[in-house]
Structures are given as structure tokens and as C-alpha cells.
Structure 1
């Protein structure tokens, strides 16, 4: 493309500047998103060193994705997370407080009476989840809520 006059060149420069301004307006930052800096595999705990916050410029980005490192750090991945891709909140879970086959303390309270027993969880469970467990002394299977310290509060039937 050749320009015959300086006026034509000036017009072309102004047109290019207008296109550039339009592209910059489209690249407006719409918020933040969390993306991994390395591959995170299912079952891996997620640390803040594996993540970074990036600006979201795509207005078509949909879904419930993590917007800050704080809401992701310490959770566990349920599926493979790839570098540079947003982290969907549905791909995360709380870490298990009890694991299937390990030893756990079973607690049952009825009024002022508290009964404790040794047990083994039959399911993996995070804090607040209901899991099944086997009483090691009697062999009876009970259900209970997982507590912060890894004990299981048995629910009466």
C-alpha cells in the first residue's frame, strides 16, 4: 500500500489509532480469575504456590470459577486442572478428615451420657459430612457426622 500524499498517510494513522482504541476498550478488565501455574491432578491438595490470579478480559467467560487464591488454597482437586485455565469451583472439595479403613473414635451422646468406642470409617469424609463406620468391638455399622478432630459423632436411630 502506497500513499500519494501526506494527508492520506495521516488519515490511515488516525484510522489505525481508532481501531487500536476500540480493541483496548474491548480488553477491559472484568475481574480476576485463578489459574494454575502447573498441572494439578485429582486428589492433590492445592497450595497457593501453584496458583496465580489473572485479569479476566473475555466477556463470554461463564461458569462459577475461582476469583481469588484464598478461596482455592487448601482445597483438593477432584479432576485434572491445567495451567492457564480457570479453576471451576465444582472441581474442588474439602480435604478428608477421615479416610476409609483408618482408625477413628466414635462418640454418641444421649442426654448426660457419652459413649465412646473405637471404629473404622467405611467412607472417606470431610468435616460435616455423614459417613458410615464400623464399631470395632461389636461390628455394628453406624452413621455419624465427621468432626474437626477426625472423630465421628454417631447419630441415634
Structure 2
């Protein structure tokens, strides 16, 4: 064989070997991809109502995945031992063996405590027949109520064996989840009757005039609202604090006083409007008065005493029937 023929033969042999090597590499890569080892998860938190093979093992091919068991109840756990895990893997055609008999996987159902407001709502419905009034709150004495529900679910609660004492307003009851597997839980607490009262939006100081825009309504415990607590807007509007008043607190009648714009002995102007005619006269105030109050004044010219209504600083008005007394 001449040199040219040997060169061509060597090139053909090299190309063939290179192709074989590439095919072998591809085959090994494919085999490695198919042979990714399963990795057992020792602790698993599941959120649904079923446990899948991919919950227990990492690297489970999608086509080999499937449901293997029901999830435990919310907050409960389930433990699968080595023999069960081996059985599940083998059933789905997956190659996995436990390293020893102590291997296990713990499965916990994702759960959250039942919100206290839902417990209060259920208790309020059950207490409605006790004639507690239109407005009341429920105070729970239990720091924690061990009722768990699957995360994201809104539970339906059932109240049984309710015992209510009208004198102390305390109650005891058993509450449970409808459709749940957990045992009923005993809860106890107190019913607080509530009332709505007007309070100030911001702090007020003596001399500040209280206007309607300064007031908002707030629910407070009825036992905190005594007989002297102001419950009407007209008892606040136009008044001024006798002492500093904190925003949001219930206000007593002794906390405010009228905003007097006329003092006893002040010179005031009597104003009377009759159609298009306006009459005025000068008078002396015989008593102090706030806007809207009725006070007596003495006409400086006729010396007659009139009952007038305060309409502003040093200004009063009279009824039409007393028009003759102005002059």
C-alpha cells in the first residue's frame, strides 16, 4: 500500500473511532439522565388531601408519579417506614432501596389555627337566643384554642353544650369543626354588652369649641359608660372642655361646659328680623349664655326684661311677639 492509500485508510479509521466514541458518550449521558438516583425526604409538609410519590422522593420522573395515600388530618402526622417506602417505589417501577431498616419519612399536614374571630362569630350565633341585646362582644378566656384547619380553608364550626350565666355573663361551651376529625374543645369567656358613644377625633383643650366635625362614634363596653357618659351629639356640639379631653375616650357630662359667649352684665345687641325689616336695640345681659341658650336681658331704653336666644358673641334675638318690648 502506498503512502497515499495508507493516509486515506488512517483517516477513515479515525473517523470511525471518533463516531463510535461520540455515540458511546451520548448513550452514557442518556443512561445517566434516566438513572438519576431517588432522594428520600425525611420530613414532608403536604397541603392537599393526598400524598404523592414526589412528596416523598426527589427526582421522581413525572410519568412515574402518583398518589400513594391520604393526607393526615390538619396538624397531624404520618410516618412511613423503610418497608412501606420500598414498596411504593417498587410499585411505580422506580429503583430505590433503603440503606437500613431504620429509614423513615414523616409526613405532616400543613395547618393553621382557626382564627379567633371565627370562634367568636360561632359563639355569638349560639348566644343570640340569650336576649343579650343588639350589640355585644365576646371575650375569650382561652389563650389558645387547639382547633386546626388546613391552610387556606375556611372552617365551619359547631357549638354544643352552651352554658350561660346571666348574672356574671360568663359562658362555657364545646366547639368543634364540622366534618373534621379533631375532638371538641372546651372554651369559656364572658359576654360584654357594648354601646356607641360620641368621642373626639383629636385631643381638645379648655376654650376649644367642639363642632360636629370633631366628633365620631365609637363602641365601648357598656360597663365603662356610666349614667354620666354623654351619648347624644347635642350634649357635645357647641360646648368646650372643662379639662383636657383625650381623643377616643368616653366623655362625661362633667367633662364639658357650655361655650359662654355672653357674660352677666355684658352689653348685648338685640336683633329682630321681620320680613325685610331688621330692628336692633341695646340691652344688658342679666345672665351668662352660650350660643343657642335662652337668657334674660334688660332693654336699656324701655328697661323691660326680655327672654332672648343667644345667636353669637354679644348678640341675641327675640320672638316676634316681643317686638313691642324692644323700644
Q: Aligned-pair distance for 1:77?
A: 2.0
Match of 2:240 in 1: 77
For these two proteins, the number of residue pairs brought into alignment is: 128
Correspondence list, 1:1-157, <5 A: 16-17=144-145, 21-23=187-189, 25-26=190-191, 28-57=192-221, 59-68=223-232, 70-72=233-235, 74-80=237-243, 81-93=245-257, 96=260, 99-100=262-263, 101-105=266-270, 117-126=281-290, 127-133=292-298, 135=300, 137=301, 140=303, 143-147=305-309, 150-151=316-317
Instruction: Give 1 or 2 for the bigger CA radius of gyration.
Output: 2
- Residues 62 and 146 of structure 1: CA distance in aligned 2, closer, same or farther (over 3 Å): same
| Deviation sequence 1:43-95 (CA, Å, 0-9, x none) | 42212332322212252532322235x33453212512222321123444555
Distance in 1 between the 2:218 and 2:299 partners?
47
Q: Is the 8 A contact 2:202 2:246 kept in 1?
A: yes
Q: Unmatched 5+ residue regions in structure 1?
A: 1-5, 7-13, 108-115
| Deviation sequence 1:107-144 (CA, Å, 0-9, x none) | 9xxxxxxxx84223253224453334461x47x5x543
Which structure has more helix as a fraction of its residues? 2
Q: Is the 8 A contact 1:53 1:67 kept in 2?
A: no
RMSD (Å) for aligned C-alpha atoms:
4.0
Secondary structure at the counterpart of residue 203 of structure 2: coil
Q: Relative CO higher for 1 or 2, CA cutoff 8 Å, sep ≥ 6?
A: 1
TM (norm. structure 1) is 0.54
